[in-house]
Amino acid sequence: MFNAEFFPTPAWLTEEMLSLVNLRSVHSILEPSAGKGDIIEVIRSKMHRPRIYCCEIDPELQMILNGKGVTILNDDFLSFTAQGYYFDLVVMNPPFSQGVQHLLHAWNIISEGEILCLLNAETIRNPYSEERQLLTKLIADSGQVQFYPRAFADAERQTPVDVALVHLRKVQVACHFDFMEGLKQQAQAPVYDLQTWFSERSQGMALECPDFIRDMVGWQQNAVAAFQELVKCYERLSYYIQPLLQDCVYKLTSMVESALKERIPALKVTEFNLALTDLAWQSLFQQTQFQKVLTARMQENFVKHRQLQGQKVFSEENIRALLELLICNQKSILEQCVLDVFDTMCRYSADNRVYREGWKTNDKYEVRRKVILPGFVECSKYNQSFSLSYHRRDVWLNDVDKALCMLTGQRLEEILSIVDALREAFRDDACREAESAFFKIRYFKKGTLHLVFKDVELHRELNRFVWGKKGWLSEEFV
């Protein structure tokens, strides 16, 4: 079951851990080795819509976490820098063999806050290594430890070892961002009695400028100077955003406004970072060439995968892992493209009672040389002009060209597509025919579209390919 060091934390032990902190004062939580989310579920039961982020290296456990709506920032916690993120509570049950490394790394990446960590008790009792000695000193200076004998003896996954619950508190020494650098924050703006000041001045005397007016003038001038700095920062931000997001750069203003609504300065940065990371992944997906060979159905699944991936840190490591995944699955992606097109073409057979008309030229198990597609074009009642039907018909027609390009080894952008051929023909109201790279096309007022394969061998290859993948046989095409 999963990896050898996967030991889900018992609910009672999680309760013990959380009893050591005041959850009402917690703003953002990190679970570095989330497993299948047992600790997170207990936290959610105690807090209303908590901000919880996690890391998890096991792909199967990641799928479980995705199903629970948990935001995964990185696979390997030890490579997670937390740059641009703010956490004031870390709750962790790391792999026992790497417990010290995980705990020390957690201490290094947070600027302030508390850490609750479960370790093998021997890690504390036998500090033979330099890392363990460093942890012992850290506990003595900034925390405490409690021992629980055989805490996992009756757990979902059992082990007889004793565990130690380490509780560390880190006080902020130097923040990554000094948001109030050089400023003294005012608890409350002073109240000035302007009426009294006027009454104390006799007529004809020169009016002295009161202190509160000097203050207001100073605030106005400093506000303008601060805004000048804001404009400079915004221009620098736009400079970096433009090549990163390209077509999505228009979202920058709304991203900034949304992030600034957070009342805690560090969380403003976290919210902006999360939004920017999602758009950066989206931009990366748009720039990859894989979408050009994905059918509409596959693109829907691709978008779901992108949304899950978009939660992860935008790092070279994660990008490389994604691209390797796509490259390794390139063959199956292309094969699925052909299968999707075959299934759609065979959908409009005479046996399909969803459609009132039955076309004998269409077959349930074979793409015939002539394929009839209902509801793909529309004829205007006013001027008899034709257009492609709504409901993303052009997307599916492009899928057909993608599949056939895969079989022929051609590039989609180098051929005359069905959609482009139809749009050219639609310019002539009297025309009812078109010709694309792979088909002779006819269309009719009732909305049907007829596609006839120009290349007999390509038609045969489409059926042979799909029958081979589906395990069907037909002597005619063997």
Q: Write the CA distances from 6 to 106, 166, 170, integer angstroms.
A: 19, 19, 28
Contact indicator for 156, 10 with CB cutoff of 8 Å: yes
Residue 199, in any domain of the structure:
no
Query: Half-sphere exposure of residue 444, counting CA atoms within 13 Å on the CB side?
Result: 9
Q: List Cβ neighbours of 419 (8 Å cut-off, separation of 6 or more).
A: 388, 394, 397, 398
Residues 364 and 392 in one domain: yes
- Number of C-beta neighbours around residue 470 at 10 A: 12
Pick the last residue of a domain from 301, 328, 355.
328
Residues 101 and 156 in one domain: yes
Residues 250 and 134 in one domain: no
Per-residue confidence (pLDDT) for residue 385, from 0 to 100: 87
Encoded tokens for 55: 């890391």
d(CA 99, CA 120): 8
To the nearest whole number, what is the mean pLDDT of the chain?
84
Report the CATH number that the domain containing residue 67 is assigned in CATH.
3.40.50.150
| Structural domains counted in the chain | 3
Which residues, given as ranges, of the chain have pLDDT below 70? 1-2, 173-210, 288-294, 296-310, 349-363, 390-392, 473-478
DSSP 3-state assignment of 73?
strand
Per-residue confidence (pLDDT) for residue 110, from 0 to 100: 93
d(CA 420, CA 414): 12
Contact indicator for 112, 170 with CB cutoff of 8 Å: yes
Residues 320 and 394 in one domain: no
Question: Which long-range CB contacts under 8 A does 133-141 form with residues at least 24 apart?
Answer: 134/104, 135/100, 135/103, 135/104, 135/166, 138/104, 138/107, 138/168, 139/166, 139/168
Per-residue confidence (pLDDT) for residue 121, from 0 to 100: 94
Per-residue confidence (pLDDT) for residue 362, from 0 to 100: 61
Residues 422 and 456 in one domain: yes
Residues 219 and 153 in one domain: no
Contact indicator for 114, 169 with CB cutoff of 8 Å: yes
Pick the last residue of a domain from 281, 313, 328.
328
Residue 401, in any domain of the structure:
yes
Per-residue confidence (pLDDT) for residue 478, from 0 to 100: 46
Per-residue confidence (pLDDT) for residue 353, from 0 to 100: 46
Pick the last residue of a domain from 150, 170, 190.
170
Per-residue confidence (pLDDT) for residue 307, from 0 to 100: 64
Residue 249, in any domain of the structure:
yes
Residues 339 and 430 in one domain: yes
Residue 186, in any domain of the structure:
no
Residues 298 and 322 in one domain: yes
Residues 349 and 458 in one domain: yes
Strands 439-443 and 433-435: antiparallel
Contact indicator for 295, 337 with CB cutoff of 8 Å: yes
Per-residue confidence (pLDDT) for residue 314, from 0 to 100: 87
Residue 435, in any domain of the structure:
yes
Residues 445 and 339 in one domain: yes
- Taking each helix axis from N to C end, the angle separating 330-346 and 296-309, rounded to the nearest 10 degrees, works out to 140
d(CA 211, CA 171): 38
Per-residue confidence (pLDDT) for residue 217, from 0 to 100: 83
Per-residue confidence (pLDDT) for residue 477, from 0 to 100: 46
- Range list of β-strands (E), 135-230: 143-148, 163-170
Residue 181, in any domain of the structure:
no
Domain of 262 in residue numbering reads as: 215-328
Residues 77 and 144 in one domain: yes
DSSP 3-state assignment of 350?
coil
d(CA 363, CA 355): 14
DSSP 79-122: G---TT---SEEEE---GGGHHHHHHHHHHH-SSEEEEEEEEHH
Residue 119, in any domain of the structure:
yes
Residue 116, in any domain of the structure:
yes
Residues 440 and 373 in one domain: yes
